[in-house]
A and B are shown apart, each in its own frame.
Chain A
Amino acid sequence: MSIEVRGVEKEFGGFRALDGVSLNIREGELVALLGPSGSGKTTLLRVIAGLEYATGGSVLFDGEDAGARHVRERRVGFVFQHYALFKHMTVFNNVAFGLRVKARATRPSPEEITSKVNALLNLVQVEQFGSRYPSQLSGGQRQRVALARALAIEPRVLLLDEPFGALDAKVRKELRRWLRGLHDRMGLTSVFVTHDQEEAMELSDRVAVMNRGRIEQVGSPTEVYDSPATPFVYEFLGNANRLPCRIEHGSARLGETVFTDATGLADGDGVAFVRPHDIEVTSDRLALSIPATVKQVLISGAVAKLELTMDPAPGMIEVELPRGAHWGAPFLAGQKVHWRARTARVFPASAGASPVAAPEVKAAG
């Protein structure tokens, strides 16, 4: 089922949690709502589910306005951050709940319920725990039970609120891959909320980056990472060096040195973003390169992290080099070097100061 969010607004006693959000989610897509806490991502998910009423705008399921429909009738599978399992029921009864509360006319027979629940427990790989209580399961198992319970009602759309938030790193990674596989097999339109950019990148078809109740950018993980539309997206996704600079005649200057292109931007103060792995460091002066001093060298697994201080301007620059290259030409703390950006992106300073001024991005069909 496709979901269309049209200009949704939500106010909580004067606080605008959602400020005109529009988003199209295609049939069978797995979309991540990514943003820092307080960005409105969970509120948006809850509005889609019908757990929260929008103060403005509308939500359409397959082109039909879902606004008037109660959660009960929306047939959405909602997986809560802390699972919200029924503690007094066994795992089996938790999963069977959605089938047992159906009106008699549509309720499956007890035999059908049993076989269906068992199939679901199999699907989420907790078949041997049917008679246990949620308190006797590990976090990852509880999460899967919550998922099976949501799937039992054959939802038209699956909504997950921080699905891996409460799990430890290893389980989180496993469960993430497993969920992606499950989604590919079932083809169910799914939306999940996360503040973890790695999770959003790895799991989703498309990412909607949210900030202060607005969507800053929607696109595939590579799109939003490689060409962030706003300074906020640049900083939120992955590491980025933020360099205040001057825009003059279509190029950005750091101190006296022109260091990257800024075609089409008006003259004035600007902010340039460079990712740490997009920086070249040499001991010799190159075109467009800027002199700096190595302050610190940290070895972390496969990468070497360099901290450079710039000689003319204050500020610290983080650089990540692959270990092989680093050993080839070792840099030492205190060494004078030159660096230049392979790619960088410049925004006018005003865009960086207030994300509200950033261009509103609407999802493409």
Chain B
Amino acid sequence: MFALRRPSVLPGFGPTLGFALFYLSLIVLIPLAGLFFKSAELGWEGFVRAVSTPRVLASFRLTFGAAFLAALLNAFVGFLVAWVLTRYRFPGRRVIDGLVDLPFALPTAVAGIALATLYAPNGWIGSILDKVGIKVAYTPAGVWVALVFISLPFVVRTIQPVLQDLEPEIEEASASLGARRWQTWLYVIIPVLLPAMITGFSLAFARALGEYGSVIFIAGNLPFRSEIVPLLIFVQLEQYNYAGAAAIATVMLMASFILLLIINVLQRWTARRHGAD
């Protein structure tokens, strides 16, 4: 205990830790614990039965798969956007910089309706895609499109500050030492950005897992095909199956927690390996 007593700006280790824990409990831990208690009503067998029906499994696959692919795409596209915004000066740069945050601020339902209208077979983009035989709205691809839209800012905003700190001089140093462009990329730029890219990816992934509002408008919500887990939970609630809904939510929660933990460890590891103190 005494080892923790170091002089610091914030007064008192005890009160600050106490408040932090109390607050976290109130906001995060107690509701989540409630979730566990509710699903415990089912008993172990009931729990397993509730979360392993084909319909539930299909929605797990869709949710995790689409969220993963959306975060993966954004890890690259978001990087590109961040690069353009930090490295180049062009007219309208600030406007584009502001646009990046729009998915944060826009009510997700609005985004969902807009996307659904655009990608519907008679919408602007949907009608073009329809001609080449690609259907987006009301399919799993639609789910993915919505998740890509809402998770983009997370990647851009985590990579941007790191890119701003990256002096253009190190690229020049690399070139003057005889490195070709791809070598500069691979050995000089990417390693520095990797921890931020992983963080951005995991934030985008976590956000996409829980997304509801924008997806339900474009997904069509066909069971076994384009039904996401959050919607399934809502369906269970509508049927007054509270324990079943809690069980699905618990699995979702555990899976997300484990995934985020793995990503966190991975990120620590890359940061340490690359000497960021």
Bound-state Cα–Cα, A300 to B9, Å: 44
Interface SS of chain A: loop
- Binary CB contact string for chain B from 179 to 191 against chain A (1 if under 8 A, 0 otherwise): 1100100011001
Number of residues on chain A facing chain B (CB within 8 A) = 31
Within 8 A of A (CB), among B145-201: 167, 169-170, 172-180, 183, 187-188, 191-192
* Chain B residue with Cβ nearest A88: B274
Within 8 A of B (CB), among A57-108: 70-78, 80, 82, 84-90, 97-98, 101-102
Contact among B170, B172, B176, B183 for A86, CB-based, below 8 A: B170
- A88 and B169 within 8 A (CB): no
- A98 and B177 within 8 A (CB): yes
For residue A153, which residues in chain B have a CB less than 8 angstroms away from its CB? 177-178
Within 8 A of B (CB), among A122-137: 133, 135
- A49 and B174 within 8 A (CB): no
B54 on interface, CB distance cutoff 8 Å = no
- B172 and A98 within 8 A (CB): no
Bound-state Cα–Cα, A98 to B176, Å: 9
Contact among B176, B180, B187, B275 for A87, CB-based, below 8 A: B275
* Chain A residue with Cβ nearest B276: A88
Within 8 A of B (CB), among A149-182: 149-150, 152-153
Most buried by A among B170, B176, B274: B176
For residue A119, which residues in chain B have a CB less than 8 angstroms away from its CB? none
B277 on interface, CB distance cutoff 8 Å = yes
- B177 and A149 within 8 A (CB): yes
Bound-state Cα–Cα, A71 to B184, Å: 13
Distance in angstroms from B196 CB to nearest chain A CB is 12
- A88 and B178 within 8 A (CB): no
Within 8 A of A (CB), among B114-139: none
Distance in angstroms from B1 CB to nearest chain A CB is 32
Distance in angstroms from A246 CB to nearest chain B CB is 51
Bound-state Cα–Cα, A70 to B188, Å: 19
Number of A-B contacts (CB under 8 A): 75
Distance in angstroms from B23 CB to nearest chain A CB is 34
For residue A150, which residues in chain B have a CB less than 8 angstroms away from its CB? 176-177
A266 on interface, CB distance cutoff 8 Å = no
Bound-state Cα–Cα, A150 to B174, Å: 10
Given A80-B172, A84-B169, A89-B275, decide whether A72 and B188 contact each other with a Cβ distance below 8 A.
no
- B275 and A133 within 8 A (CB): yes
Distance in angstroms from B128 CB to nearest chain A CB is 41
* Chain A residue with Cβ nearest B184: A101
- B169 and A87 within 8 A (CB): no
Given A86-B188, A87-B275, decide whether A101 and B178 contact each other with a Cβ distance below 8 A.
yes
- B178 and A72 within 8 A (CB): yes
For residue B175, which residues in chain A have a CB less than 8 angstroms away from its CB? 51, 70-72
Contact among A73, A84, A97, A133 for B172, CB-based, below 8 A: A84
- A84 and B173 within 8 A (CB): yes
Bound-state Cα–Cα, A26 to B259, Å: 63
Most buried by A among B180, B274, B275: B275
- A51 and B176 within 8 A (CB): yes
For residue A49, which residues in chain B have a CB less than 8 angstroms away from its CB? 176
Bound-state Cα–Cα, A150 to B172, Å: 12
For residue B276, which residues in chain A have a CB less than 8 angstroms away from its CB? 87-88
* Chain B residue with Cβ nearest A102: B178
For residue B172, which residues in chain A have a CB less than 8 angstroms away from its CB? 51, 71, 78, 80, 84
- Binary CB contact string for chain B from 84 to 125 against chain A (1 if under 8 A, 0 otherwise): 000000000000000000000000000000000000000000
* Chain A residue with Cβ nearest B194: A88
Distance in angstroms from B106 CB to nearest chain A CB is 37
- Binary CB contact string for chain B from 239 to 277 against chain A (1 if under 8 A, 0 otherwise): 000000000000000000000000000000000001111
Q: Please provide the 5 A-B residue pairs with the shortest distance between their CB atoms, ordered closest to farther.
A: A98-B177, A88-B274, A133-B275, A84-B169, A84-B173
A/B interface sample: 17 pairs, CB < 8 A: A72-B176, A72-B180, A78-B172, A80-B172, A82-B167, A84-B170, A84-B173, A85-B173, A87-B192, A87-B276, A88-B192, A88-B274, A88-B275, A89-B275, A97-B179, A97-B187, A133-B275
Listed in ascending order, the chain B residues whose CB lies under 8 Å from chain A are 167, 169-170, 172-180, 183, 187-188, 191-192, 274-277
Beyond A84-B173, A88-B276, list 14 extra A-B contacts (CB 8 Å).
A51-B172, A71-B176, A82-B167, A84-B172, A87-B192, A87-B275, A97-B179, A97-B187, A98-B178, A98-B179, A101-B174, A101-B180, A101-B183, A135-B277
